[in-house]
Amino acid sequence: MKLSALKFSLILASGFLMASCAVNPYASTNKLYKKQAKAYGKSLWAVPQVNPEEVAYPQGDYWVGATNFNMRKPNYVIIHHTAQNSTEHTLKTFTTKATQVSAHYVIGRDGKVYQMLNDHLRAWHGGASKWGNNTDINSSSIGIELDNNGAEPFAEAQINSLLGVLEMLKKKHGIPAANFIGHSDIAPSRKVDPNPTFPWQKLSQSGFGLWYDADVLDSVVVAKNYADSVATGKVDTTLLQQEVLVLQQEPKYKVPDTFNPQDALRIIGYDTRNMEAAIKAFKLHFIQTEVNAELTEKDKQILYNLYQKCL
């Protein structure tokens, strides 16, 4: 019995050992990550030097290192969908040098989160993009990729994990609520991610990203003097002596006649050099139906409400 128990213990121990020594399929690319990060770290340790022959200003007598500094911190979070068919496919893409793309976090449909870069490192996820006056989004942002083929709803487990990551990032880096945006927002003429099923309203309710007020599309019943309709020629002018009123519905919040949608989109952050693309990007994020280049009256009400929040 003692021998059998010993054999069982040995088998159990070997099983644990095998599990703990499971081969990471990304072990080789992890080494490349460490090597490259070490090289950047070494450059930070080095005393700043310039070649006197390459500068047109006199150098100080000696190097003086400042004592008050810290790491650069991200100020935006950009949310993407991968447009690929699996988490493994995306992990492979971001560990292949030839692709020239990466992100800080990848979140699978099952909710598993893969952090691929330190938050302070610059990922290559935004490409040619612009938000407000910022034309180098990669240098000031964290990129999050959601495993999604671009045409499907986002899994509940995935969104729950995303909310957890966003909460951590917001606390860690002090990122403003309005600075959680989508890839299509910063690259309206090139990108359409995350797709129209993405729950931007849910994120906003949790403190991540802008959303319009709940009652912005409400209408109210208003009273108008019947005499206002005399101009139509259909009203008996004898009624003018009577205080006749009619009731009609009007938007609760009216958009001023002077409202300029292009200025509003620009103030929110959109690149309006291609106005059609900017409108589509706005509607993809905030309307999520009929994503086209036309602004309906309801669309303008929403845009005006958001514009006021950004003033």
pLDDT digits (tens, 9 = 90+) for 255-280: 999 999 999 999 999 999 999 999 99
User: 110 in a domain, yes or no?
Assistant: yes
How many domains does the structure of the chain reveal?
3
Helix (H, G, I), strand (E, B) or coil at 144: strand
* pLDDT value of position 184: 98
One of 145, 152, 276, 290 is an active-site residue; which one? 145
Is residue 24 pLDDT above 70, yes or no? yes
User: 68 in a domain, yes or no?
Assistant: no
Q: Give the C-alpha distances (Å, rounded to integers) separating 207 from 49, 166, 215, 247.
A: 44, 9, 19, 39
What pTM does this model have?
0.86
Confidence tier at 16 by pLDDT (50, 70, 90):
very low
User: 43 in a domain, yes or no?
Assistant: no
Confidence tier at 138 by pLDDT (50, 70, 90):
very high
Higher local confidence (pLDDT), 249 or 16: 249
* Alpha carbons 68 and 46: distance in angstroms, whole number: 17
Is 145 marked active-site?
yes
The residue segments making up the domain with residue 238 are 219-251
* pLDDT value of position 1: 44
CA triplet 286, 300, 77: central angle to 5 degrees? 30
* Alpha carbons 159 and 251: distance in angstroms, whole number: 34
Q: Are residues 170 and 266 in the same domain?
A: no
Task: Report, in angstroms and rounded to the nearest whole number, the Rg of the chain calculated over CA atoms.
Answer: 28
Q: Are residues 169 and 138 in the same domain?
A: yes
User: 144 in a domain, yes or no?
Assistant: yes
* pLDDT value of position 244: 61
Q: Are residues 167 and 186 in the same domain?
A: yes
Q: Are residues 126 and 175 in the same domain?
A: yes
* pLDDT value of position 17: 46
